[in-house]
Structure 1
């Protein structure tokens, strides 16, 4: 006999991962890089001042590209250079997340996106979900055996699949900029769900 069982546990996120970027332009690559460096350093200092440890900040992208300018006849009239510098930040105090975003924006960040909420340690919650899934499968097996006037034998195999989708908040960003809010940016982390599905095979008598 094969039965499937499901178990779930609900968790309140205690950490958020955010991509914070600085996008700058200049008439030359060196000027664009210099401007970006100054602006990015200011943003990183603001992030640290908001309570983020240096080990929780790491660069995920640094790129430079040219952006040709065209006149009315379609001819290239000039070239600007664009620099993008993005860091991923782990914020462990969600009560201060809105303040962090405000501080980063005020310091010069103009790209904030892909805020992902998570739980730092899901070990116990995963154990609970697995135990619940096994219990659900065993109850179903017993119900089916009773309905068919059969007796359950030993468990032959157990397989399982864990699923823990993250909670996302798609922020604003891009080349233009992010408008600073008059009040702290409102962010609601919601809940995370750990789902476990098990498949149990019994012998029957």
Structure 2
């Protein structure tokens, strides 16, 4: 009786395992789709049309109130001078105002007991007319600016350049796919996948940060913003027949 029971259980188990086994198609495994992957690049050269500059006023005095008053008066004169060159008020923004003190020392290196108070006021200026940038710097120095740093050139709107670069990248990749297919004796089928990577150029910096005298001398020299290059890389995968 026990033997029959064991046989029945084994038979049922075998049937159950057979039912769970994966079904194999009569024709065998489906062949993988043949494909070709190509990469194309599109470039766009841009000429900067906008600049950003940090312009500041630094003052020092033995009295904190006097240092602040001097700085405030010079900064107001500076802002007015910048606006007179055609820069809108909304394109001038205060980014730093600081007051700090430092003890004074005599020729012998010993403290004199006096304290110097220094005040810094910096504005961030957006210049939309690069032709007038040299004049703006000259006017700023004459108005009392003695700290000018990080002249940064950029392109205000890169939309059209990006669109042109993407189209050029796709055209280059497609042409490459057609040439490879012809050389290999195959025919391009449907486009299966497409991916892209945009390399947007960073703003170009002019690192000639200098004090008032240096800027005044340099303002006579035309400022050249140079060019910027935008790159788009596109990868296409086509079915081949």
* TM-score of the pair, normalised by structure 2: 0.77
User: More strand by proportion, 1 or 2?
Assistant: 1
Matched, 1:165 2:241: no
Which one has more relative contact order, counting CA pairs under 8 Å at least 6 apart? Answer: 1
Instruction: Determine the structure 1 residue equivalent to 2:228.
Output: 192
SS in 2 for 1:165: coil
Contact 1:165 1:194 in 2 (8 A): no
Give matches, 1:94-105, under 5 Å. 94-105=130-141
Q: 1:189 to 1:183 in 2, by over 3 A?
A: closer
SS in 1 for 2:140: helix
**Aligned partner (choices 149, 154, 175) of residue 190 of structure 2:** 154
Instruction: Determine the structure 2 residue equivalent to 1:21.
Output: 56
Offset at 1:159? Answer: 2.0
Q: Deviations over 1:30-81 (max 9, x none)?
A: 2222111111111111000011010111112222222233345654333212
Instruction: Determine the structure 1 residue equivalent to 2:143.
Output: 107
Matched, 1:6 2:41: yes
Name which of structure 1's ranges 157-166 and 38-47 shifts more when overlaid on structure 2: 157-166
Matched, 1:54 2:89: yes
Instruction: Determine the structure 2 residue equivalent to 1:34.
Output: 69
Q: Give aligned pairs, total.
A: 203
C-alpha root-mean-square deviation of aligned residues, in Å?
2.0
Q: 1:4 to 1:81 in 2, by over 3 A?
A: farther
Offset at 1:185? Answer: 4.2
Offset at 1:15? Answer: 1.3
Offset at 1:23? Answer: 1.4
Q: Distance in 1 between matches of 2:221 and 2:96?
A: 25
Larger Rg: 2
Q: Distance in 1 between matches of 2:43 and 2:218?
A: 39
Name which of structure 1's ranges 131-140 and 113-122 shifts more when overlaid on structure 2: 113-122
**Aligned partner (choices 80, 85, 88) of residue 116 of structure 2:** 80
